[in-house]
Structure 1
């Protein structure tokens, strides 16, 4: 009995399936009409929607040679920049909302009517316009399996020529902005280091002048004492030195020696006193080297522009073939549903008529 029940169930299922197919065949015009309507709407949308073009620039890491002007020996301990750090900072700057806002404001300040029509809508607020402009940018970093370190910056706009021009300008804007940041950082760091070295040098000079003035005062005092006792020549000799000690009073050196030392100390200013200050010549050498350090900025590259933006040949949106294909599939599915519903409605009406006729016959 179970077998018979199974066969009957299968037969019932098959009949139901064939009934569905018969219903679709009977109401075929619903299926065809829905598909045709969907295709027509898709074609209208695909050919009336404003096309969107996309272009891109590609950044890669530079070699160490491209950063040698910055990493020169004269700037060691003051400033250095690795290629990894340079690429990371340029990538962050290119993604930064502040960078895009500054670039967008620069574009609006040009008051170009053709450009403004593409990137600015009067009915929107300034913030809303900027958000729409910012969303035109997309970024693609390499995957984990890729060996090259690169960054793709893509930009979309309805005008292919303006899209190409704006993305190249944005790329130049980012590189120039990063160059300005690096240059400003270098100058501030170097100025701070120069100021510290010069303060240290001034400290050595101050200390030297204090010791010099103290020595001159002591010599002048000793000279007066020697003159008062009429001590012209040194009082001590080699033998007397042993008796009097290794450091006898200055006046015992005699007025002639004392005045000679005073004269020598006063004449140092004519030849430059920095040479007499311990540690100062080395500091002056560091200061001069740091002042002479010049960076050939035109030879510095922070990232490699592997690909600049080129004019796109065809739009990326709308994808007409995909839209039409999806519309056909969706229309077919909707048409099947409509055909089945129409057939079910027709059966219901027939059933109602039969029931009414049976009641009237009774």
Structure 2
């Protein structure tokens, strides 16, 4: 009877037996341990031979309100503590600020300088990898949101704490100088603006003063001209009156001579002489008519005519001429114009400039020296680190060992499955049995 060939038990099922895998791993534990030891040694070598990296940090917070009170009360430059912290943060993050500190402290940065590199190239290596500005999380509440943290990572042999603290002080000093410069410019601009307003007021005053003097002098000239015209007309009038008087006297003299009146007389007296008697009579004549001029007598009239002909000036005959002379003499000097021209301190007469002078005095009294201005509070200065942050030896060794264990396990499993494949293949020894002859 024919014997039926027996198949290998592994062909009966494709299921993985965990116990069998565990036995396979145990048989090849040397591979697992060897890989773990090898990777562990490699990790330990890297951990102990890799360059050590250290880290220092500094924390800045807003200054107290009283530190900036004097600056803010100046009403010229407003700088709240939060804004001052932001300005310092911008200075810390500034490329120019970092480069300036790098140039100012070459001794601290000797380790960053490489042969064949210029200063800017050496600085690029420092600026790219060394200092990092950490900003607060804007999602957090405001009370915890006002701070700046500056971190620096550096290799062994560099005084990182001195570099970071020095850079913080340098940035604060730079921003303090910038605030002082801005304040000085603003104050100077305000002073120039006030000076311009005062100069404008002074120019307006000068214009008003000259205009007033011109008006006063013009009024004097007009009045002088009118008085001169009046005096000329008055003298012409008096001359014509004198000529009229001479003509009147000439006529009266002719009449007096014709009727034989040499001495002054009256019409009643002339009538009385015709009927003169021995008795003395006193007459009183009451009349409202003027006595003709020829009754003055020819002698008196000729004397008056001779006096009028010899007269060269009629001014004394009219009191108005003296008044005009007095007024003309007073117009020779305008005392108001003289006072205006003789003012010594004309700024005292400027209008609406008292507030400007007060503001100028206040601005000139401001202290623009920002040497002692405290912009921020250094909450924590950089301190020498207790140890490097890189490489983390224990972690590297542990991870490399775990990786070795995983690698060893993978190798052991691969070897096991290769062996199983060989044993269960179509040309394996277990499947190469021949059937017995009948």
2:132 aligned to 138, 143, 166, which one? 138
Residue 337 of structure 2 is aligned to residue 266 of structure 1: no
Please, which moves more after superposition, 87-96 or 40-49? 87-96
Query: After the TM superposition, which residues 1-362 of structure 1 pair with which residues of structure 2 at under 5 Å, given as runs?
Result: 13=15, 16-72=17-73, 75-76=74-75, 78-107=76-105, 110=106, 112=107, 115-117=109-111, 119-122=112-115, 126=120, 130-131=124-125, 133-143=127-137, 144=140, 147-148=143-144, 149-159=146-156, 162-227=159-224, 229=227, 255=330, 259-268=334-343, 270=344, 272-351=345-424, 355=428
Q: Per the alignment, do residues 100 and 299 of structure 1 end up closer, same or farther by CA in structure 2, a change over 3 Å counting?
A: closer
Q: Per the alignment, do residues 253 and 85 of structure 1 end up closer, same or farther by CA in structure 2, a change over 3 Å counting?
A: farther
Contact 2:63 2:375 in 1 (8 A): yes
Contact 1:31 1:334 in 2 (8 A): yes
For residues 81 and 230 of structure 1, the distance between their equivalents in structure 2, rounded to whole angstroms, comes to 73
- Structure-2-length-normalised TM-score: 0.66
**Which structure carries more helix by proportion?**
1
Q: Per the alignment, do residues 124 and 353 of structure 1 end up closer, same or farther by CA in structure 2, a change over 3 Å counting?
A: farther
Please, which moves more after superposition, 194-203 or 89-98? 89-98
Q: In structure 2, the residue corresponding to 1:147 is in which secondary structure?
A: helix
Deviation, 1:318, is 0.8
Aligned equivalent of 1:243:
none
Q: In structure 2, the residue corresponding to 1:174 is in which secondary structure?
A: helix
Contact 1:69 1:297 in 2 (8 A): no
Q: In structure 2, the residue corresponding to 1:323 is in which secondary structure?
A: helix
> Structure 1: any 5+ residue segments left out of the alignment?
1-10, 232-251
Aligned residues: 321
For residues 382 and 143 of structure 2, the distance between their equivalents in structure 1, rounded to whole angstroms, comes to 23
For residues 69 and 214 of structure 2, the distance between their equivalents in structure 1, rounded to whole angstroms, comes to 54
- Structure-1-length-normalised TM-score: 0.78
1:61-110, CA deviations, whole angstroms, 9 ceiling, x for partnerless residues? 111100022123xx31x211111111122123223344334433444xx3
Deviation, 1:258, is 6.5
Deviation, 1:317, is 0.9
Q: Per the alignment, do residues 173 and 102 of structure 1 end up closer, same or farther by CA in structure 2, a change over 3 Å counting?
A: same
Contact 1:201 1:283 in 2 (8 A): yes
Q: Per the alignment, do residues 325 and 17 of structure 1 end up closer, same or farther by CA in structure 2, a change over 3 Å counting?
A: same
Deviation, 1:352, is 6.0
Q: Per the alignment, do residues 162 and 83 of structure 1 end up closer, same or farther by CA in structure 2, a change over 3 Å counting?
A: same
Contact 1:60 1:87 in 2 (8 A): yes
Contact 2:102 2:109 in 1 (8 A): no
Q: Per the alignment, do residues 356 and 102 of structure 1 end up closer, same or farther by CA in structure 2, a change over 3 Å counting?
A: farther
Q: In structure 2, the residue corresponding to 1:355 is in which secondary structure?
A: coil
For residues 192 and 103 of structure 1, the distance between their equivalents in structure 2, rounded to whole angstroms, comes to 31
Deviation, 1:53, is 1.1
1:99-155, CA deviations, whole angstroms, 9 ceiling, x for partnerless residues? 334433444xx3x4x7332x2344778558615533222333445158342221111
1:212-250, CA deviations, whole angstroms, 9 ceiling, x for partnerless residues? 11221222333344455379xxxxxxxxxxxxxxxxxxx
Cα root mean square deviation, aligned: 3.1
Q: Per the alignment, do residues 192 and 253 of structure 1 end up closer, same or farther by CA in structure 2, a change over 3 Å counting?
A: farther
Which is greater in Rg? 2
Aligned equivalent of 1:238:
none
> Structure 2: any 5+ residue segments left out of the alignment?
1-12, 230-326
Contact 1:54 1:312 in 2 (8 A): yes
For residues 158 and 189 of structure 1, the distance between their equivalents in structure 2, rounded to whole angstroms, comes to 45
Q: Per the alignment, do residues 21 and 123 of structure 1 end up closer, same or farther by CA in structure 2, a change over 3 Å counting?
A: farther
For residues 129 and 347 of structure 1, the distance between their equivalents in structure 2, rounded to whole angstroms, comes to 62
Q: Per the alignment, do residues 60 and 227 of structure 1 end up closer, same or farther by CA in structure 2, a change over 3 Å counting?
A: same
1:259-313, CA deviations, whole angstroms, 9 ceiling, x for partnerless residues? 1101210121x1x111111012321221222122113524321110111111112
